[in-house]
Amino acid sequence: MAWKVGAAMAVLLGMVGVGVGVGGGPDPRRAGWRETYRPPAEIPFPPENPYTAAKAELGRRLFFDPILSGDGARACATCHIPDLAWGDGRARAATRMQGDMDLRTPTLINVAWQDGPLGWDGKFRTLESVAAMPIAAPANMNLPIPDALARLAADKSYRAAFADAFNDPAITRERLDAALATFQRLIVTGSTPFDRWIAGDEGAIGEPAKRGFDLFNGRAGCAGCHSGWSFTDNSFHDIGVGTGADIGRGRFMPTSVALQYAFKTPTLREIGQRGPYMHDGSVPTLEAVIDLYDRGGIARPSRSRAIKPLNLTRTERADLLAFLATLSAGGSRDLVTASFTAAAPAP
C-alpha cells in the first residue's frame, strides 16, 4: 500500500524542499526512454509501518538528536547531513574516534523506493532494521539499544511523543525503528532540470545533456543498472572496483560468483553533490567515474557482463557529465519534495 505525503508535511516537519554524436539528431528511442523516468505520484510506506504525521515528527526528532549516542555527541544526522545530500562528503564514514569505517555513508535520498536488502553489501533486510546497528556499534554511536530505550523512557517529552505516535507511551526497539524509518522515507529529491524536461519543458536542459541522456540509455548502457525515476535497479553488481577482502554482497552469498565484489547500485539523484564516489570513496570525481566505466574496471569472473570498455569520445564524456548535472535540484538538501501532495492514508 502506498500513501501520498508532501508539501504540507514539509511544514509539519520543519523542512524545505526531492548516444548520438553532435549533429546526428536525437536517438529515435528517446521518447520511449523518457517515459520510463516519469516520477511516481506517491511515497510508498509498508503496511506494517504506515505513515502518520506524529510518527514522522518523532522520527525527525530522533534523527537529529544526539540522545541516541553514548556520549551525546553523535546523531544520525552526523553522517547523513542534509546539506551534503544526506551523506557526509567523506570517502569513508568517520568513526566516533575520527578514524575511517570500512564503507562510505550512503545517501538517504529516495530511500523509500529502495527495494530488497539495503546497505552497500545488503546487510539490512528493511529500512526498519537499519538504525539499531549504527546506534549500538562501538565505533559509531556506541549506545546499546536497551540503554537507548531507557534513556528515551526517562525523558518526559519523548514518552509523550511515543504515546502520540503509537497511541501508547511504551518505548520499544520496534517503535524506535519504525519512527526513524517513517521520517527517512520522506527524504525525497526535489524537482530537477531533468524532471522538468521529462514533464515536457524542452528548454529545461541543454542539447549536450539530451545527447548525454541518449548515451546513458543507449550505447553506454548506464541505465542497465541506474534505471527509472530513482536511477537504481536496487540490485548488486561487481563493476570492477572492490579489491582484496572488500567483497561486498559476496560476504553473505559466498557461493555466488556474480555477487563477489558486488555492491548495491546507488541512486544518481543529487550525484554532483555526493563525491567522492563508489562504496569505498575510491573515485574522487564524476570525470573519474566516467573514466572507470570507459575502461571497464577490473576484469574478473564476478564482473558484470554489462561492464566493458566503451571507447567514449571527449564529446561523449562531456555530454554524460552535462546529463548528470541535470539530476540535482540545487539549493537546500534539507527537503521533502513539494511535488507530493499531502493526503490521509488510503482506505
What are the boundaries of each domain within the chain? 20-42+191-325, 46-184
Residue 124 and residue 117 in contact, taking contact as beta carbons nearer than 8 Å: yes
274: CB partners within 8 A, 6+ apart? 84, 85, 87, 107
At 139-152, the pLDDT tens digits run 999 999 999 999 99
Residue 343 has pLDDT above 60, yes or no: no
* Helix, strand, coil tally for the chain in percent (to 5): 35, 5, 60
Give the pLDDT of residue 41.
Answer: 87
Task: Please state, in angstroms and rounded to a whole number, the distance separating the CA atoms of residues 261 and 267.
Answer: 19
Name the average pLDDT for the chain: 89
Work out the average pLDDT over 12-28. Answer: 53
What CA–CA distances, in Å, run from 157 to 15, 132, 141, 166, 180?
21, 22, 22, 14, 17
Q: What is the DSSP letter of 274?
A: S
Which amino acid is residue 256, in one-letter code? S
Residue 137 has pLDDT above 80, yes or no: yes
At 157-182, the pLDDT tens digits run 999 999 999 999 999 999 999 999 99
Whether 20-42+191-325 and 46-184 share one fold: the answer is yes
Task: Please state, in angstroms and rounded to a whole number, the distance separating the CA atoms of residues 136 and 314.
Answer: 48
Task: Please state, in angstroms and rounded to a whole number, the distance separating the CA atoms of residues 163 and 335.
Answer: 26
Q: With 0-12 CB in 10 A as exposed, 13-18 as middle and 19+ as buried, what is 190? A: buried
Q: What is the DSSP letter of 226?
A: S
Residue 220 and residue 293 in contact, taking contact as beta carbons nearer than 8 Å: yes
Residue 7 has pLDDT above 80, yes or no: no
Residue 331 has pLDDT above 90, yes or no: no
**Residues found in the chain:** 347
Q: Residue 290: in which H helix or E strand, if any?
A: helix 286-295
Q: pTM for this one?
A: 0.89
Instruction: Look up residue 84 and give its three cell numbers.
Output: 551534503
Instruction: Look up residue 146 and give its three cell numbers.
Output: 536497551
Residue 302 and residue 251 in contact, taking contact as beta carbons nearer than 8 Å: no
Give the pLDDT of residue 35.
Answer: 97
Q: Residue 8: in which H helix or E strand, if any?
A: helix 7-13
Q: What is the DSSP letter of 248?
A: B
93-107, 123-137, 162-176, 331-345: which has the minimum mean pLDDT? 331-345
Domain formed by 46-184, architecture: Orthogonal Bundle (1.10)
Give the CATH fold of the 20-42+191-325 domain.
Cytochrome Bc1 Complex; Chain D, domain 2 (1.10.760)
